[in-house]
A and B are shown apart, each in its own frame.
Chain A
């Protein structure tokens, strides 16, 4: 696989504020790449730089080997961009809307008709062909805007918060659509703060906060790398003082950062080891004669990781030895 989007040391300064502070991204061809971060993290600015709408203050950005600053015209031909807030022209029919953008890309008339028909089929708006754009629902407008970004058959799609403002059904439809686009060989860069969605959809993610990439890679890999703060929940067939001594026993383990006795009798362990370490801890506990009812890792999803990584005032439970994220200083 080849790198199709690459940024190095991307910096964007607005008067006095640093919106993007040295972002390095590598997106490989055919991926659905999620840019995750809280509002104001620099996701939109990064996408805008890639979409040739902003000039970076420093650093380089390339799409399909073309510099976005030196060859913006060529870059615009290989990418389709859908901004987070977009408008539609009033007084325009759905097919005319696509026809207009197809004309902007200088697509010849015969090909234009074919592309408009294909795209309306793709985004499931074929029966709305003659409808006026402003009469479409928000979800339909979103799909139409996505279709507009596809008229020139771009290699890369930049979608800024495409799911915002959509109802659950429209989100599912959008997700299906993006999967279909991926199967057509498109690389999709998508920014969002709605994490469960990205988790299902994306092949890779970058977690961004305060203009910096905190972690980047395959979803599973990031989860593995960042799971230094995992929580183990242990239930024992013990009560009272026995339970407290069991808690103290767990606290003595070198991989356990903290041990707390919850009101329902569960012991919650802040655990810094990996899966092998937790297996070893379980074996040691059983060998020591503790009556363990359940021993489970608390369900950790991207959302939890995200909160853990991006909360500025909370230190990680421990720093993993490899692949440690760079924390904002």
Chain B
């Protein structure tokens, strides 16, 4: 039998190499996960099918819009090409958002709890690998497939430039929201996985959370909207719940963020305008003016936008509201649609939430260095007796 090496194989421990050690740990977990996940043809067959479906979907959207214009439903035929581009962009972006919103958290929801159930977590935490490296490694290796799907869609998405109507910045905005959403909801799934012991329960809680984020928030906004009332001038009046829902309710919804991106592609086309009106309907920004005894008071708010003195007629647009004429003192915006009001905040919120979720996950994974929630009574460690 072979002798073990007599010389120590471990590199000396250095204080300043904490970062390098974390990166090494993340790499170790990543290599392990990807070896299991990407073995054989399965992953690549799934990717191929996914791209075929996505491409077929884009083609169908193109045909539908084209047909509409052919029979004169969409408007002037000369505008058909940008409309097709915008339609494909809208369809692909929303479809991919839907996919990310469900795929990212469900792929992380078992990351830690499965290790716990298979009794491999203890082997892992008794190595010098840090809990932070375990959490980050698990997140990245679970998300890497989601990122792969996103990256694989880029050439398909580039087809919108053939038709026009969508600027490269719009596409970049859309992808930024997609990636941040994947990280944010992936971290959420990971937190559920590390706090809840069983994978089935962790997955269920994650899915409920995702539904609350994507559908529940819309419901809350719509309910608030319904509770508000308008005076005879069309000004929003405070209802029993106040004048409007807290805007963070909208930021947390990735679909609202994407709607904001789509709103930005241009007000002239029906597709952009549709999303703008959806947002201004659900998230009244600066449009409403509270009429008090002292006169009109503009509502300060995070989505405050410069408002043009004279709104365009006939089109209801995000940021140009019902009562915009009342706020004549505000200087007019020179050109373009007011944009980036919502998705930037959504991205910032989700990056913050991701960091919070990951910190909590690290605490839940770490066997001994857990925060004491209550003094005097020690919490039961996650890897129990």
Contact = CB atoms under 8 A, between A and B. Distances in A.
A317 to B, nearest CB: 35
A19 B32 CA distance: 36
Given A55-B381, A92-B32, A105-B10, 9 more contacts: A19-B385, A53-B381, A54-B367, A55-B378, A91-B35, A92-B35, A103-B31, A115-B5, A153-B9
A92 B38 CA distance: 11
A124 B378 CA distance: 43
B128 A86 contact: no
Contacts of B10: 77, 105-107, 152-153
B122 A69 contact: no
Nearest to B381: A54
Contacts of A122: 1-2, 4
A52 B126 contact: yes
Interface in A91-124: 91-92, 96, 100-101, 103-108, 111, 114-115, 117-119, 121-122, 124
A315 interface: no
Interface stretch (A43-51, A261-269, A284-292, A297-305): A43-51
A57 interface: yes
Interface of B: 1-5, 8-11, 13, 21, 24-25, 27-28, 31-32, 35-37, 39, 117-120, 122-129, 367-369, 378, 380-381, 383, 385
Contact of A115 (B9, B124, B128, B129): B9
A74 to B, nearest CB: 7
Interface of A: 13-15, 19, 44-45, 48, 51-55, 57, 69, 72-74, 76-77, 79, 81, 83, 85-92, 96, 100-101, 103-108, 111, 114-115, 117-119, 121-122, 124, 145, 148, 150, 152-153, 180, 184
Contacts of A121: 1-2
A83 B13 contact: no
Contacts of A87: 117-120
Query: Which A-B residue pairs are the 3 nearest by beta carbons?
Result: A103-B28, A87-B118, A104-B127
A219 to B, nearest CB: 27
Best-surrounded residue of B10, B36, B120, B381 (most CB of chain A within 10 A): B10
B120 A105 contact: no
Contact of A114 (B5, B28, B129, B381): B5
Nearest to A86: B119
Contacts of B32: 89, 92, 96, 100, 103
Contacts of A53: 122, 125-126, 367-368, 381, 383
A14 B369 CA distance: 17
Nearest to B31: A103
Contacts of B35: 91-92, 96
30 contacts: A14-B380, A52-B126, A53-B126, A53-B367, A53-B381, A53-B383, A54-B368, A55-B368, A55-B378, A73-B128, A81-B123, A83-B119, A83-B122, A85-B119, A86-B120, A86-B122, A88-B118, A89-B32, A89-B118, A90-B118, A92-B32, A100-B32, A103-B24, A103-B31, A106-B11, A111-B5, A117-B2, A148-B123, A150-B4, A153-B8
Contacts of A13: 378
Given A89-B118, A100-B28, A14 B128 contact: no
Contacts of A88: 118, 120
Nearest to A79: B126
